[in-house]
Structure 1
Amino acid sequence: MPYREGESGTAPTLIQSVRRAVRLLDELERRGGTGSAKQLARDAVLPLPTAYHLLRTLVHEGLVRNDNGAYRLVSPLRRGTDTAAHAPALGIQAWVDTLSRELDAAVYFVQYLDGEVRLGAVSGNPARPPVEEWADFRATAHAHAAGQSLLLQLEPEQRDDHLSRHRVTALTPHTVATHGDFERRLAAAPRRLPVLEHQEYALGTACAAVPITVGAETAAVALSIPAAEGARLRGLADRLQKRAEQVLIAQTFAVAAAGHEP
């Protein structure tokens, strides 16, 4: 059964509520600015009562309106196309370098642009060198955590188009080797949770990635460590997700606020 937030019985913190509200705004924009509570709860992987509560809050704040059960963005959350759009003010390269030192891992910022995986920035931490690109990074998205995170965010027809051009093949004994098996794997993976990958792209390397996008742009931030340190991966992925969400929240509400200034 897929993991759904809010089912543990514990009261959400303020930051958890903000993160969930951000996800609802994200899903609304992904749907073209309108959607029902049930659709948004499903897409954002939230319990329906939680989605209703957050949607009422967003309506009260003037970011969303309720038209007889159809929730609509009051105005688009417009973003530029610059690759730094989702990185902190210090810039993408400085940000991934900082994350690399904090997490003691190599860090990568990737985007899906014009039908291809694009590597936007790679940390320059000598103590944690990045994975060697021994197989074309763009053509092997199915085999690395960064690519898997990007493919999870695509619409089915976009993903089908990508996989028709870059076919699923085994790079190591650990790679999912067939198109059908890979599709089933994606279908079972929640879109908003970290993707973990052990030696699927390169032997001796373990990776994790999380989405770092709002609206139509598709991006992710990923990390890699030696496979011998694989026990660290889950904890690192959780920390990476928290940092990515901080950027997501700041970006979303800064843009939303700007769109509602008098």
Structure 2
Amino acid sequence: MAASADPVAAKSLARMTGLALPTTYHLLRTLVFEGYLRKLADGYVVGPAAMVPSTPALQSLLPRIRPVLKSLRDEVGGATYLSVYSEGEIRLLDIADGPNVPCVDLWVGVHDSGHATAFGKCILAGLSAADRADYISRHQLHDLTPNTITDRRVLERQLDGQAAIWSDAEEYLLGTACLAAPIRVGEHVGAVAVSLPARRPPVNGHSAALQRAARRLGWAMAGPLISI
């Protein structure tokens, strides 16, 4: 979209990226909600949130991280996500999904749902006590489903645990469960996650696959291009 002089229609974007049209619409809604895109009458254009100094560095990382996300997607049979903590917010960098493994409809912005997602809790648990307290103080713990943690003390107790794999059991969206593994690159904190139907129980291999992907993503993001 940034390379186009005119607004780009959703169908054109789906065709260019090879994504299913429903998946394209899901991603577009999320990007518009978070300010990375703007929706006009004849298509989409780049929004103000995308105009940040770190954007070129993050774009440069995509060729390194996307193959890892796709490999994880194919191994576990679920859409995969890479997120990082940047400038006080949890930000989604990339998603790997497909026609048979669609990504979660991110109907609530990622930066407002850290308490309810596996990758959000994974990142919050990896922050310093001061950074975590700052994030929680600036974000309401929205009641997204009957399973969402909305009590700050309960959330903080859970985040004090040092889990190798974090999960959300239909806390963000009913019918969907997620698993996430932490990524640490120097002082930077991130997470790789996979979403699965809640009715499909995770297997032992999923945790190992997530941890392998987290290590590979950490290596990929540790180069001089990173600027998050």
Does the TM-score normalized on the shorter chain lie above 0.5? yes
Alignment of 1:173-184 (within 5 A): 173-184=146-157
Residue from 45, 66, 87 that aligns with 1:93: 66
1:49-93 deviations in whole A, cap 9, x for unaligned?
xxxxxxxxxxxxxxxxxxxxxxxxxxxxxxxx9337888xx4222
Q: Would the alpha carbon gap of residues 133 and 247 (structure 1) be closer, same or farther in structure 2, given more than 3 Å must change?
A: closer
Structure 1, unmatched stretches of 5+, are 1-80, 256-262
Question: Which residue in the other structure is 2:15 paired with?
Answer: none
Given the alignment of the two structures, is residue 156 of structure 1 paired with residue 129 of structure 2, yes or no? yes
Report whether the alignment pairs 1:186 with 2:159.
yes
Distance 2:204 2:178 in 1: 10
Residue 105 to residue 167, structure 1, CA distance change in 2 (3 Å):
same
Secondary structure (helix, strand or coil) at the match of 1:94 reads helix
Say if 1:227 and 1:172 are closer, same or farther in 2 by CA, change over 3 A.
same
Name the amino acid aligned to 2:210.
L
SS in 2 for 1:133: coil
In structure 2, C-alpha distance between the alignment counterparts of 1:219 and 1:211, rounded to whole Å: 6
Q: CA deviation at 1:248?
A: 3.5
Show CA shifts across 1:141-167 (max 9, x none).
Answer: 000001011101111111111111112
Greater shift after overlay, 199-208 or 231-240? Answer: 231-240
Provide TM-score, normalisation by structure 2.
0.67
Q: How many residues align?
A: 169
State the match for 1:144 in structure 2.
117
How far apart in 2 are the matches of 1:151 and 1:195?
Answer: 11
1:75-120 deviation per Cα after TM superposition (whole angstroms, max 9, x unaligned): xxxxxx9337888xx4222321222112211000101111111110
2:211 corresponding residue in structure 1: 241
Q: Who is 1:13 aligned against?
A: none
Tell me the equivalent position of 1:133.
Answer: 106
Percent of matched pairs sharing the same residue: 33
> Which of the residues 221, 231, 237 maps onto 2:192?
221
CA distance in 1, matches of 2:75, 2:91: 24
Q: Using the alignment, how far apart are the partners of 2:70 and 2:215 within structure 1?
A: 18
Q: Write the distance in 2 (CA, Å) between the matches of 1:113 and 1:246.
A: 20
Q: Show the counterpart of 1:201.
A: 172
With normalisation by structure 1, the TM-score equals 0.59
**2:68–2:216 Cα contact (<8 Å) kept:** no
Amino acid at match of 1:207: C
Letter in 1 for 2:82: F
Mean CA deviation greater in 207-216 or 141-150: 207-216
One-letter amino acid matched to 1:146: F
Which of 1 and 2 has greater Rg? 1
Cα distance in 2 for residues equivalent to 1:121 and 1:196: 19
- Specify whether residues 238 and 172 from structure 1 end up closer, same or farther in structure 2 by C-alpha distance, changes over 3 A only: same
Q: Is the 8 A contact 1:86 1:212 kept in 2?
A: no
Q: Which has the higher contact order (CA 8 A, sep 6+)?
A: 2
Partner in structure 2 of residue 83 of structure 1: 58
- The offset of 1:250, in angstroms, is 7.5
State the Cα distance separating 1:236 from its structure 2 match: 1.0
Q: 2 CA distance for matches of 1:179 and 1:124?
A: 32
How far apart, in 2, do the equivalents of 1:169 and 1:178 lie? 10
Q: CA contact under 8 A between 2:77 and 2:101: conserved in structure 1?
A: yes
Secondary structure of the structure 2 residue equivalent to 1:108: strand
Aligned-partner residue type, residue 213 of structure 2? R
Spell out the pairing of 1:2-151 with structure 2 (5 A cutoff). Answer: 82-83=57-58, 90-151=63-124
Moved over 4 A (4+): 84-87, 249-252
1:172 matched residue in structure 2? 145
